[in-house]
Amino acid sequence: MSASHPTTASNTAADAAAELAADVDAEAGIPDQGRAFSTEDYFNTQRPPASLKEKTEAMRAFVDKWNIDGKKVVLVTSGGTTVPLESNTVRYLDNFSAGTRGATSAEYFLQAGYAVIFLHRTHSLRPFSRHYSHSMNPFLDLLTVNNGDQIDVVPGQASKLLPILKAYHQAHDEGSILSVNFQTVNDYLWLLRAVAGVMAPLGRKCMYYLAAAVSDFFLPDDRVAEHKIQSTHGALVLEMDQVPKVLRPLVQEWTPEGYIVSFKLETDDNLLIPKARAALARYGHQLVIGNELHKRKSEVVFVERSHHEKSRGDRSVTGAQTPPLASSAGDVPGMYTETWLRLPELAAGRAATDEVEIEEFIIQALLERHHEWIAQGEQAQANA
């Protein structure tokens, strides 16, 4: 990473403004170091993953089936992307995300009647099985041997397992979830573009829920070592290029009608809202859900255009006219609204023994918004 991205802990307003300004440049494709790839350059120069065709066909079949049935379809992206340092990969750069947000959200979308394409990092958490992850709640601890050769569920565990098992079987029997895996940031970008093409015929009936933690930096194919990098050459110095921000073509070209929710992760609370507003101003999508790393399981903020701004048009992309983020488009009074969702307030009235997850409330709030998005489209068609 470049020297203009401060790595020391300092939370001054000046640092926040500098971070924001650097982000403007990055999102506008102005690198402070390394090569800048436009999305087009990226797909013209980087090799697609071997399984792209097969996965695209599986996604197409899934979408066609549910489109005929009139079901709404959501793409949930989940987990972190890797950046391999070698093509015969021994080492890679990774991201902290375990895929909890994505896997949990997918369950609530299924419960709400959506068909779900779950685009996830290989071996990250999956809907349903996430409740029994090997580190938190090992599967074998649920079982007990009875009479020497029978297997039983440990008393007290069956009642917790039953609703999860039922929901799991229902989703699989109906075929309402399709899991598609990625490993690298390159896999992710190719698959995202492919799935957007496949989902486009759904018009407003599709939603994008972009919870994956996508790398901002990568090593282009022509600079990746073929074999394991040898330590005999001394220190390893890496210069990575910037990954194009694919939110821009996603919103503006690949899926002009989909309802798009992106996530904004920050570790500095001061940056969360200005950067979420800046992303909305720059890409023109519907909603940014901001979350701070350490509080992400208990609070999130919905940042969206205020109602009168929304009613001015579908996707009022300000693009090149957007003022620099450091002075932030979000500073225009009344242009954006922020809605905080916080546990435990949201869970007030629930039994203390109930395990409450913030994703339940996130999805509930999205259902209304997606419904309104679809209704607006129908109204516009009726008026046309």
Binding site for ligand PMT (CB under 6 A): 97-101, 210-214, 216, 243, 245-247, 262-265, 291, 296
Q: CB of 90: closest distance to ligand PMT in angstroms?
A: 24
CB of 263 to ligand PMT, least distance (A): 3
Which CB sits closer to ligand PMT, 66 or 184?
Answer: 184
Read out DSSP for 258-321?
Answer: SEEEEEEEESSHHHHHHHHHHHHHHH--SEEEEEEGGGTTTEEEEEEE-HHHHTT-S----GGG
> Angle, nearest 10°, between helix axes 13-27 and 269-283?
30
Which one, 296 or 369, has the nearer CB to ligand PMT?
296
Provide the minimum distance between the beta carbon of 291 and ligand PMT in the complex, in angstroms, as a whole number.
Answer: 5
d(CA 122, CA 184): 9
Indicate the residue among 61 and 293 with the shorter CB distance to ligand PMT.
293
Nearer to ligand PMT, 66 or 275 (CB): 275
CB of 210 to ligand PMT, least distance (A): 4
Non-local (6+) Cβ contacts of 339 within 8 A are 301, 302, 304, 365
Reported residue count of the chain is: 384
Q: In this complex, which beta carbon is closest to ligand PMT, that of residue 66 or of residue 206?
A: 206
Provide the minimum distance between the beta carbon of 32 and ligand PMT in the complex, in angstroms, as a whole number: 16
Q: Which residue has the tokens 């649920």?
A: 142
